[in-house]
Amino acid sequence: MTALVGKAGKIRIGIGGWTYAPWRGVFYPDKLPQKRELEYAGAHLTSIEINGTYYGSQKPESFAKWRDETPDDFVFSLKAPRFATNRRVLADAGETIERFFNSGVTELGDKLGPINWQFMATKKFDPGDFEAFLKLLPQSVGGRDLRHVVEVRHDSFRTPEFTGLLRKFGVAAVVAGDSDYPQIADVTAPFVYARIMGTREDAGPDGYDDASLDLWADRARTWASGGAPEGLDYVEKPATGAPRDVFLYVISGHKVSNPAAAMALTGRTG
């Protein structure tokens, strides 16, 4: 597990999903059976963001299988179903949210990490409706506390009213890094959730140059120790606070390089 000791939270670094054909022979060994890819990824990363839950429900048996194929200290984050977020009136998402949490996600046990509620770039901030949505997010399920994060992609969310709502409910905002999406780096929950999207083919085998990797590693350490990294876009930059767990995923960009970037960041933050 990638973690800092002392006055710092745990840092977990990973990728989105684990099934991607171009990773075979690059990240995965040539002759590794496909059914062992998650086992291999779990041995080299500390977290994975599951993407399939965004598109449709998964079987409880699948969650249990993923739990059993990864190390004891591994954590999965889940992308929540798009049917809850891709709607005009968010306050009507209650049944979809309830169905999601009854689908077997608790089979992940201690490996159940944050739930990422991702919104389309066209979705604008409606304070009343968004607060109604946040009220629908359960604080726990099956006796297990939940951590929620919202990924908003419209400039209208860059307002103190939005970040204030997140603080009220203890929900994090995704920190979008190296992307064209608006960045809201305000810390509004007891954890930080970053998705960095800037890997490039011309940046070398790790997808990022050394300076960029050092920068993101330093930001992760700063978050973990309770600080607010410089060079990010804040609505209202927070003061230094308590130590926080950090979840950082290398997403999109030059996807072939993402596992290498995640492992390089793990080495820098260990």
- Three-class DSSP category at 194: strand
Q: How far apart are CA 241 and CA 245, in angstroms?
A: 12
- Two tokens, residue 244: 């926080």
Q: pLDDT tens, position by position, for the chain (270 residues)?
A: 333 334 789 999 999 999 999 999 999 999 999 999 999 999 999 999 999 999 999 999 999 999 999 999 999 999 999 999 999 999 999 999 999 999 999 999 999 999 999 999 999 999 999 999 999 999 999 899 999 999 999 999 999 999 999 999 999 999 999 999 999 999 999 999 999 999 999 999 999 999 999 999 999 999 999 999 999 999 997 777 899 999 999 999 999 999 999 999 999 998
Q: How far apart are CA 96 and CA 87, in angstroms?
A: 11
What's 86-132 look like in SS3? CCCCHHHCHHHHHHHHCCCHHHHHHHEEEEEEECCCCCCCCHHHHHH
Evaluate whether residue 2 is within a structural domain.
Answer: no
Evaluate whether residue 6 is within a structural domain.
Answer: no
Evaluate whether residue 245 is within a structural domain.
Answer: yes
DSSP letters along 225-255, please?
Answer: TT---TTS--SSPPPP-S--EEEEEE-SSSG
- Two tokens, residue 163: 């970040």
**Residues 6 or more apart in contact with residue 202 via CB below 8 angstroms:** none
Evaluate whether residue 1 is within a structural domain.
Answer: no
- Two tokens, residue 5: 């000791």
Query: 250: which strand partners?
Result: 15, 196
The reply to whether the predicted model has a pTM over 0.85 is yes
Check if the beta carbon of residue 12 is closer than 8 Å to that of residue 42: no
**Residues 6 or more apart in contact with residue 230 via CB below 8 angstroms:** none
How many other CB atoms sit within 10 Å of the CB of residue 84?
24
**Residues 6 or more apart in contact with residue 55 via CB below 8 angstroms:** 81, 82
Evaluate whether residue 5 is within a structural domain.
Answer: no
Tally of domains in the chain: 1
Q: How far apart are CA 220 and CA 150, in angstroms?
A: 19
Check if the beta carbon of residue 181 is closer than 8 Å to that of residue 122: no
Residue 25 CA, distance from chain mean position: 26
Evaluate whether residue 161 is within a structural domain.
Answer: yes
Evaluate whether residue 236 is within a structural domain.
Answer: yes
Structural domain for 47, as ranges:
11-269
How many other CB atoms sit within 10 Å of the CB of residue 19?
12
Evaluate whether residue 188 is within a structural domain.
Answer: yes
Q: What is the CATH number of the domain that holds 234?
A: 3.20.20.410
CA-based nearest residue to 112, from 83, 81, 141: 141
**Strand duo 245-250 + 11-16: pairing:** parallel
